[in-house]
Structures are given as structure tokens and as C-alpha cells.
Amino acid sequence: MTPAGTRDSVTAPGTTTIAHGAAPDGAARATAKADRAHTADLVRVLLFAGVVVAHSINGINTTPDVIRSSNLVGTLLHLTRYGFVAVTLFVLVLSTRDRPMSPGTFWRRRFGLVVWPYLLWTVIYAITDHLVIAGNPFGSPSQFIGDLGVNIVNGEGKYQLYFLLISMQIYLAFPAISWLLRRTENRHWVVLGAAGAIQMTMFVIYQYLPRPPGDGWVVVYENLWKTLPMYALFVAIGALAAHHHETVERWLRDHAVWVIAAGLIATTFSVCAYLLATSPGNVPLQSNTPWNPATLPWLVGGLAMLWLAAMGWNDLRAAGRSVGARAVSAATVRAFGVFAVHPLILDLLGRFGFMSGLFEWFPNSAALRSVILVVATLVLSLLLVDLLLRTPLSRWLVARSRIPLRARDRNVQNSHK
């Protein structure tokens, strides 16, 4: 869930360098990078779509008769946050391995691409939450400024913006991650194991241990899940998969059946754990948290299956088959924008009675209500993003260069790419 900048970015644009030994010639290397960028593009688009699905169904399916099934979907869609971390690291490592860059240069080039959208959308939602959401009037100016300052620090200006804080941490830590990959060249299994242990420790702390006493510790506790240790395993998965991408992709192709089988077993385990912890009309809070250890098999297995499917799609695309490559490219340009604006669209749909209307029109079909809401949210979000892409603030709002209004100017722009 972060900005998509250039071709070498995922949820938020990123770079740095990772030194390697002998590299293939420039043309072959560029082709390999482009192929893998297409794979990452599709994964990114699907993950962004998953974010919209999760927030849409969670906003409309809260009645006792459907809450168990809707929360199961929401639990599975926790994959989006962890998948974004892995794909971000994958593209950062892959895109910077042959471009040496000092940490200072890297930070100067990258932080602005995520900081400005983060600040702007935090301010926008600080205003629209009062204008659009019923029963939420503006407070005093001092209260507004104070709340805005807190939201900027803790990433809670809107429920999706915390992920931009995680993106900033990824950029901040990326030079150190690159250094670690070089220094542990022959011990990457140890790195993966250590990252898994860190993440599992965070899961256990949040899932099973009581909140710490004292106001100071509570503040730390309530925000620590937004830090990289909660995502350590997926930081390692993404970085190591890119560092060894030829080996990893060859292994995935050679063992595709076993990867799918293992992924389905992992999914079955996590789903059964959820069903055993819940009952119709009764979904305990701990059963569908993003840090439930029982969900971890699905998070890893689901990501592996998703990546394998994207590889298969990319193979068809590279073979000249018409498999929606243009649609994926267009969606990639708009992916961060949809991530940024879709909560506003959901708020507007709620304010103007669309959600309550769905219950009147389809009182006996939660699935149909959910599908219609998801489609409406995606379509309206894309329309708004297309409008924002044509404004001077395009790069600050949707992390993309402005698209000229006139076709002739767009052709000139494309000819310079």
C-alpha cells in the first residue's frame, strides 16, 4: 500500500545499490529487469485491489449473519500489507543492484516521493473526515491542529496511511539492508531465519501478551506494530528473492506443483484455525488480527502462489499473448492513487446513502452487496485518480508525473520515455 513512482518502484518508489559479482551484458540485464518488473507490477495491482476489497467488505458487512464470513475474507486479505513489504523490497533490490548510490543520494531522491503524498493526504483526510462523515463536526482550531500533528506522527490520518510510514522506514533502512545482504552473502538462510524469529516474536507479543502498564509504554505498544520488526520476515523474503532472483524463479518454475500444494495446505491450516476460533455471529477480536501466528502460513503460502501466478502471466505476455498487459500497465500507473483515494470514495458513498441503499436493494445477498460496492469504489477511485493525474499536483497526490490533457502533448511525453 504505498506510492508507485517509476518502473523501479512498488508501493512506494525505492532504490539503492547491492554489489554483485559478474553481471550479464547490459541488454540482457535490462531485459531481465523489465520482465521481473512486469511480474511485480501484476502482483502490486492485485494487492492494491485486495486493499479496496478488504476496506469495502469490512465497511458494509458487519451484521451478525455475515460477520464471520466477511472477517474471514478480511483475515486472508491481511496478505496485502505483508505482500506490499515483500514486493517493495524485491523491486528495490532488483532495480538498484547495478546502480551504485550513496545513502544520502538515495534518501534525497526517494523520500520526497512518499513524504509529500503522505503529508498531503493526511491533511486532506483531516478535512474531509469532518466534511463528509456524518456526526463528525470540526472542533476548535487548536484541537484540529493538535489532532493533525498526532496523525502525522502516528500515521492514523486515515486507516490506510500507516503504510506510508512503513514505506519511509523501508527507505531509511534500505542502505543498511543492502549492506547486510553483502556481508551475509553465504549465510542468507540464517538471515531469513532470524527475520522470521523477529516477526514471530512481534506476532506473539501482540497476539498473546497483555498490554504493558503505564501511559508511556501504551503509546509505544499502540504504534510498534507500524515498525519494520512486525514485517521482518517479508523484508527478508523480498530482498533475498531479488538478490537470488534467477535461482528463486527457476526453483519456483521447477517446483510449481509442490509450491501450489504447499500453499493450499498453508491456506487450509490458516482458514481452519480461524473457523475453530469463531462461530456464526461470534468473531473474537483476536481471531482475525493481522498478527495472528495462525495466519502466517497463509501469508507466506499465499504470497508464493500469487507470485507464481504472476510469473505465469508474464511468461504469456512475453510470448506475445494478449493477456491484459496494457490494462496492467494502466493500473500500475494508477495503483497508488487508488490506494490513496478509495477511503474518501467509501466515505462519500456512505454519506450519500449508497451503502444503506445496497441493503434496501439486495437485503438477502451480502455477496452481491459486497461485489457492487467493490466495483463502485474501484470505478469511482479510478475516475478520481485520472482527474488528479492531470493536475499540477499529480506527483504529490498520486506519486506519478502529470498526464497532459491534450493527446498531442501526451504523445510528445511518451516519445521521451
Neighbours of 112 (CB within 10 A): 13
With a CB cutoff of 8 Å and minimum separation 6, the contacts of 348 are 132, 380
Letter for the amino acid at 385? V
Q: What's the count of helices (H) and strands (E) in the chain, helices before strands? A: 17, 0
DSSP characters over 202-219: HHHHHHHSPPPSSHHHHH
By the 8 A CB rule, do 219 and 211 touch? Answer: no
Q: Give the Cα separation of 103 and 173 in Å (integer).
A: 10
Q: What is the pLDDT of residue 62?
A: 76
What's the alpha-carbon Rg for the chain, to the nearest Å?
A: 22
Letter for the amino acid at 293? P
Q: Where are the domains of the chain?
A: 26-388
Q: Give the Cα separation of 6 and 9 in Å (integer).
A: 5
**Per-residue pLDDT tens over the stretch 272-281:** 999 999 998 8
Question: What 3-state DSSP class applies to 185?
Answer: coil
Distance of CA 45 to the CA centre of its chain: 9
**Per-residue pLDDT tens over the stretch 69-98:** 999 999 999 999 999 999 999 999 988 877
Q: What is the pLDDT of residue 323?
A: 86
Q: What is the pLDDT of residue 281?
A: 83
By the 8 A CB rule, do 332 and 39 touch? Answer: no
Q: Which residue in the block uniquely carries the three cell numbers 542502505?
A: 175
Q: What is the pLDDT of residue 108?
A: 86
Q: Which of 298, 276, 296 is nearest to 287 (CA)?
A: 276
With a CB cutoff of 8 Å and minimum separation 6, the contacts of 71 are 58, 278, 283, 287, 288
Q: Which residue in the block uniquely carries the three cell numbers 543498511?
A: 176
The alpha carbon dihedral of 51, 167, 14, 195 has a sign of: negative
Query: pLDDT 10s per residue in the chain (417 long)?
Result: 433 333 333 333 333 333 333 333 444 444 445 555 789 999 999 999 999 999 999 878 877 888 899 999 999 999 999 999 999 999 999 888 777 778 888 898 888 889 999 999 999 999 999 999 989 999 999 999 999 999 999 999 999 999 999 999 999 999 999 999 999 999 999 999 999 999 999 999 999 999 888 888 888 999 999 999 999 999 999 999 999 999 999 999 999 999 999 999 999 999 999 999 999 888 998 999 999 999 999 999 999 999 999 999 999 998 888 788 899 999 999 999 999 999 999 999 999 999 999 999 998 888 899 999 999 999 999 999 999 999 999 999 999 999 887 555 545 455 454
Q: What is the pLDDT of residue 81?
A: 96
SS (H, E, C) 68-126: HHHHHHHHHCCHHHHHHHHHHHHHHHHHHCCCCCCHHHHHHHHHHHHHHHHHHHHHHHH
Per-state percent for the chain, helix, strand, coil, to nearest 5: 75, 0, 25
Q: What is the pLDDT of residue 246?
A: 92
Q: What is the pLDDT of residue 165?
A: 95
Q: Name the pTM for this structure.
A: 0.87
Question: What 3-state DSSP class applies to 282?
Answer: strand
Q: What is the pLDDT of residue 27?
A: 47
Q: Which of 165, 168, 164, 173 is nearest to 397 (CA)?
A: 164
